[in-house]
């Protein structure tokens, strides 16, 4: 297990964060009936763990009903007992299984929560993919449900999804979220929003950062919807859905107000646009990029628009979650140190 002080050293936490949390810790949060909530977010969910800014949490998640895996050919002995115990309480598959929420001390509305995704591990050698009646990018052409259970090769980090078709795996969490504002009430986890949620952004692998606006005290972070691999678009409504364990480090940025989720990889900064209309989502992603360039780089709107047209790539995040996504990727390499 990674020691908290080593995590802090390697990621160069700001002096302010170090003063606030002199000895960061690492916690383990297992998926149990007491720590999992299903398919929704609410501001009044009771926290299952409380941590400080700078602390890390190893979060266990599970995906899909074990009985379904058995029905599609997975041997019973391959399914972890804790997986079965969890689903005895959940009773049936109802949607995203989300571990949390985690309360981060010091996080308040108007702050920004930085989620450092330190590690993502696949924990079962199988996963599923499905298309569902009435959903996906081509619902009119696939008017039926179809489920497939697919193998995962831990050694090669691949899945042979069809005979002779082998896909490299790049695991990430489809859902990472803070609580929505209390005024929104109970929110389904199906569609993403200002709180993050079902972003389905395949760039958010280990070694990247997700930035979320804080809407309630403690932020209330949850994660789930493990994906072993996904293409941009997630066109048939699912990735290679599987069980993951992730290690997250939380950093609170006081009075750093953002409106929509943002992200950062070692090579790019990412803004995100969300809307039921994909064209509007694209506009929102560009507007967010112009705002980022103004705030962080001191580049005015007109010059930012030019820069975005020349150097920023727009990717379709997903087209299947009701609220669709476009993410704009700005390469860090274009900024020359003078």
Question: Tens digits of per-residue pLDDT, 139-194?
Answer: 999 999 999 999 999 999 999 999 999 999 999 999 999 999 999 999 999 999 99
Q: Which residue intervals of the chain are DSSP H helices?
A: 4-11, 15-20, 66-71, 81-90, 278-297, 301-311
Contact 173, 204 (CB under 8 A): yes
Q: What is the pLDDT of residues 226-279, one digit of tens each?
A: 999 999 999 999 999 999 999 999 999 999 999 999 999 999 999 999 999 999
Q: Examine the domain organization and report whether 316 and 221 are in the same domain.
A: no
Contact 190, 39 (CB under 8 A): yes
Tell which of 263, 295, 315 closes a domain: 263
Q: Examine the domain organization and report whether 226 and 304 are in the same domain.
A: no
Q: Examine the domain organization and report whether 151 and 193 are in the same domain.
A: yes
Residue 21 has pLDDT above 60, yes or no: no
Q: What is the pLDDT of residues 87-98, one digit of tens each?
A: 999 876 679 999
Q: How confident is the model at residue 2 (pLDDT cuts 50, 70, 90)?
A: very low
Tell which of 200, 233, 263 closes a domain: 263
Query: Both tokens of residue 229?
Result: 């691999």
Q: How confident is the model at residue 307 (pLDDT cuts 50, 70, 90)?
A: very high
Q: Examine the domain organization and report whether 108 and 158 are in the same domain.
A: yes
CA gap 266, 209 in Å, rounded: 9
Q: How confident is the model at residue 18 (pLDDT cuts 50, 70, 90)?
A: very low
Tell which of 245, 263, 281 closes a domain: 263
Residue 9 has pLDDT above 50, yes or no: no
Q: Examine the domain organization and report whether 25 and 173 are in the same domain.
A: yes
The pLDDT of residue 14 = 52
Do the bridges between strand 208-213 and strand 262-264 make them parallel or antiparallel, or are there none, so unpaired?
antiparallel
Q: Examine the domain organization and report whether 148 and 288 are in the same domain.
A: no
Q: What is the pLDDT of residues 110-132, one digit of tens each?
A: 999 999 999 999 999 999 999 99
CA gap 130, 241 in Å, rounded: 9
Residue 12 has pLDDT above 50, yes or no: no
Domain of 143, CATH number, reads 2.60.120.580
Q: Examine the domain organization and report whether 176 and 309 are in the same domain.
A: no
Q: What is the pTM of this model?
A: 0.93
Query: Both tokens of residue 31?
Result: 């998926």
Domain of 323, CATH number, reads 3.10.28.20
Q: Examine the domain organization and report whether 214 and 250 are in the same domain.
A: yes
Quote the domain boundaries for residue 321.
267-334
- What phi and psi values does residue 177 have, to the nearest 5 degrees? -155, 150
- Number of compact structural domains in the chain: 2
Q: Examine the domain organization and report whether 187 and 325 are in the same domain.
A: no
Q: Examine the domain organization and report whether 206 and 287 are in the same domain.
A: no
Q: Examine the domain organization and report whether 234 and 289 are in the same domain.
A: no
The DSSP letter of residue 334 is G
Q: Examine the domain organization and report whether 181 and 315 are in the same domain.
A: no
CA gap 49, 288 in Å, rounded: 32
């Amino acid at each position: 297990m990674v020691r908290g002080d080593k995590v802090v050293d390697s990621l160069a936490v700001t002096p302010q964060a170090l003063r606030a949390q002199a000895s960061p810790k690492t916690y383990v949060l297992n998926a149990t009936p007491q720590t999992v909530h299903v398919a929704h977010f609410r501001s009044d969910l009771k926290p299952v763990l409380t941590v400080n800014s700078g602390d890390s949490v190893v979060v266990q998640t599970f995906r899909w009903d074990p009985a379904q895996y058995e029905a599609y050919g997975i041997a019973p002995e391959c399914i972890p007992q804790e997986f079965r115990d969890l689903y005895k309480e959940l009773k049936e598959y109802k949607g995203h299984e989300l571990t949390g929420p985690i309360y981060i001390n010091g996080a308040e509305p108007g702050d920004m929560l930085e989620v450092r995704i330190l590690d993502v591990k696949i924990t079962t050698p199988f996963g599923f993919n499905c298309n569902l009646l009435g959903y996906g990018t081509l619902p009119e052409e696939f008017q039926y449900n179809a489920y497939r259970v697919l193998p995962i090769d831990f050694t090669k980090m691949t899945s042979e999804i069809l005979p002779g078709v082998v896909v490299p795996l790049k695991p990430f969490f489809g859902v990472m979220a803070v609580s929505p504002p209390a005024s929104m009430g109970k929110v389904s986890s199906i569609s993403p929003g200002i709180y993050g949620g079902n972003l389905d952004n395949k760039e958010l692998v280990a070694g990247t950062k997700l930035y979320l606006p804080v809407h309630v005290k403690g932020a209330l972070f949850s994660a789930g919807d493990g994906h072993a691999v996904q293409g941009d678009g997630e066109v048939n409504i699912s990735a290679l859905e599987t069980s993951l364990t992730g290690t997250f480090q939380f950093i609170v940025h006081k009075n750093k107000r953002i409106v929509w989720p943002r992200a950062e990889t070692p090579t790019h900064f990412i803004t995100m646009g969300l809307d039921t209309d994909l064209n509007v989502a694209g506009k929102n992603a560009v507007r967010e990029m112009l705002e980022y360039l103004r705030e962080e780089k001191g580049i005015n709107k007109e010059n930012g628009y030019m820069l975005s047209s020349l150097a920023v790539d727009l990717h379709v995040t997903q087209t299947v979650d009701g609220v669709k996504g476009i993410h704009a990727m700005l390469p860090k390499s274009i900024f020359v140190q003078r």
